[in-house]
Amino acid sequence: QANHKSKDVKTAAKETAFAICDNITPFGMKALLPALFAALPVEKKWPIRELSLQCIARFSTSAPKQLGDALPLIVPEVTACMWDTKKQVKVAATAAMKNALAVVGNKDIEHMTKQILTAITKPKEVPEIMHKMAGVTFVQSVESPALAMVVPLLLRGLREKTTATKRQSSVIIDNMSKLVDNPLDAAPFLPLLLPALETNASSIADPEARAVTERAVSQLNRLKGLADKQASVRGDVSKLEDLFLKSFKSEGADGGKLETIKFACTVATCMMDLHFMEDIQWTNNIVPIVESYFSKADAEKYIEEVRVEAEKMLEIPDEDDDDDDAEELCNCLFTLAYGTKILLHNTKMKLLRGRNYGLLGANDCGKTTLMRSIANNQVEGFPDVTQVRTVFVEADIQGEQSHLSCVDYVAADEKIKAMGIEVAQIREVLSTVGFTPDGKAKPDHAVSTLSGGWRMKLALARAMLQKA
């Protein structure tokens, strides 16, 4: 009715659609997508298409996490509408895409939302955006929402005329695919990326660029094999439907009862996808759906039966047991990369209070990048400054500060300023590590005069002042 002649009817249709989107359980959002997508083809009247896109945009507020999980489905549908000739549809599509990309949840690339939106409608800017993409430092594993965000850009890069841009796209694809922990996250995108890569692998004249592309093809084929092997219930309602019908003693049901159980299956599947597997979560989200046909006690009993069986379908790793009595400061799993170079992938870091740890590695393997990432609170899962104070002690002196005296150099540090440390305190701590007026290293001499060893002592003194 969004295209009805009556203004009142159109207004009522819009308000009703928004009310449904805002009030449906967030885990039931996916159940609405087929109807919304069916309203998007160009054959439909533009007010219908506009309203459908506006509904999708609203999910960023009412169901942000679930919207992120559905991005592989949403992005291709909305992207097509961003090229629409009707201004109202184009504006609604751009707003929907912007809202969708805002819930990606990957801090490494979320700052590129504007550039990725630009790449969809302005292909000429793709090479420059690809260059920026290559400079991203990844500290989080790549999941399906992040892939949904960058795949359109990568596809455009693969289709560029210049070999350099095609090569850069292949390198990024190769490296990002290595950061995917769950191959099923990549599965929706492989049919898009693989054909484009294979075309380039057989047509690029430059031998080195062709070899890079072939490596990306090989990596995606490996990922495809893993995804096929690990195919599970993700997004497949049919695998749960039999469980629901059996547990709810509803084999042979039809009409409203059957549709209600099917909707409960959709909600349960979405909860499984997002690993919401606690009994109270299933009770709170599914009992209200089926209570029209079952008592609350029966509904809770039947839902728990389904949940227990559904949980067996998922691989939920057990946490490692540790009998050590030392306080655990950090126990996280993280990924670290710089641009197109993967430094650490799916690496576990566990630190206990009172222990000393060494970091060993060859030149350019990422030791400094890791230390800086920890100090800057960029490592996913690492405790923030309210729990653990971290300082990276390094001997390098920034060029613009090389003229400062040792005292002024320490005082200029932003963290020292924030702590309100006085110059007298700085001098006192410096003296404890050997910076004295009559010593080899004097507190009022320029830091540029210090040797590497004394620069390290200066950095240690700064860390001591921060009580690290």
Contacts of residue 6, defined as CB under 8 A and 6 or more positions apart, other chains included, come to: none
pLDDT of residue 352: 87
Contacts of residue 406, defined as CB under 8 A and 6 or more positions apart, other chains included, come to: 430, 435, 441, 442, 443, 444, 445, 446, 447, 450, 458
- In this predicted structure, the answer to whether residue 395 has a pLDDT above a threshold of 70 is no
- Confidence band (pLDDT; 50, 70, 90) for 197? very high
Of residues 123 and 158, more confidence is placed in 158
- In this predicted structure, the answer to whether residue 186 has a pLDDT above a threshold of 70 is yes
pLDDT of residue 316: 44
Q: Could you tell me if 379 and 373 are in contact, meaning their C-beta atoms sit under 8 angstroms apart? A: yes
Q: Could you tell me if 456 and 395 are in contact, meaning their C-beta atoms sit under 8 angstroms apart? A: yes
Region 318-328: what's the mean pLDDT?
Answer: 60
pLDDT of residue 233: 46
- Confidence band (pLDDT; 50, 70, 90) for 237? low
Share of the chain above pLDDT 90, in %: 33
Instruction: Dihedral sign for Cα 266, 269, 273, 279, please.
Output: positive
pLDDT in tens, 57-84: 999 999 999 998 899 899 889 988 998 8
- In this predicted structure, the answer to whether residue 317 has a pLDDT above a threshold of 80 is no
Q: Closest by alpha carbon to 141, among 74, 195, 186?
A: 186
Q: Of 104-113, 319-328, 340-349, 436-445, where does the model show the most confidence? A: 436-445
pLDDT of residue 201: 93
pLDDT of residue 348: 82
For residue 182, CA distances in Å to 79, 109, 345, 423 come to 25, 19, 13, 52
Of residues 1 and 191, more confidence is placed in 191
Q: How far apart are CA 433 and CA 453, in angstroms?
A: 11
Q: How far apart are CA 338 and CA 342, in angstroms?
A: 6
pLDDT of residue 396: 67
- Confidence band (pLDDT; 50, 70, 90) for 468? low
pLDDT of residue 37: 95
pLDDT of residue 238: 63
Region 26-46: what's the mean pLDDT?
Answer: 92
Q: How far apart are CA 164 and CA 450, in angstroms?
A: 44
Region 237-261: what's the mean pLDDT?
Answer: 80
- In this predicted structure, the answer to whether residue 220 has a pLDDT above a threshold of 90 is yes
Q: How far apart are CA 24 and CA 285, in angstroms?
A: 10
Per the DSSP assignment, residues forming a β-bridge with 40 are none
Region 315-333: what's the mean pLDDT?
Answer: 65
pLDDT of residue 256: 87
- Confidence band (pLDDT; 50, 70, 90) for 138? low
Region 40-62: what's the mean pLDDT?
Answer: 93
- Tokens representing 248 are 């709810």
Region 286-292: what's the mean pLDDT?
Answer: 91
pLDDT of residue 232: 52
Q: What is the pTM of this model?
A: 0.61
**Cα radius of gyration rounded to whole Å, the chain:** 28
What are 157-165's contacts with CB under 8 Å, separation 24+? 157/126, 157/127, 157/130, 158/193, 158/196, 158/197, 158/200, 159/196, 160/126, 160/127, 162/127, 163/204, 163/205, 163/206, 163/209, 164/127, 164/209, 165/126, 165/127, 165/130
Region 230-246: what's the mean pLDDT?
Answer: 68
- In this predicted structure, the answer to whether residue 89 has a pLDDT above a threshold of 90 is yes
- In this predicted structure, the answer to whether residue 402 has a pLDDT above a threshold of 70 is yes
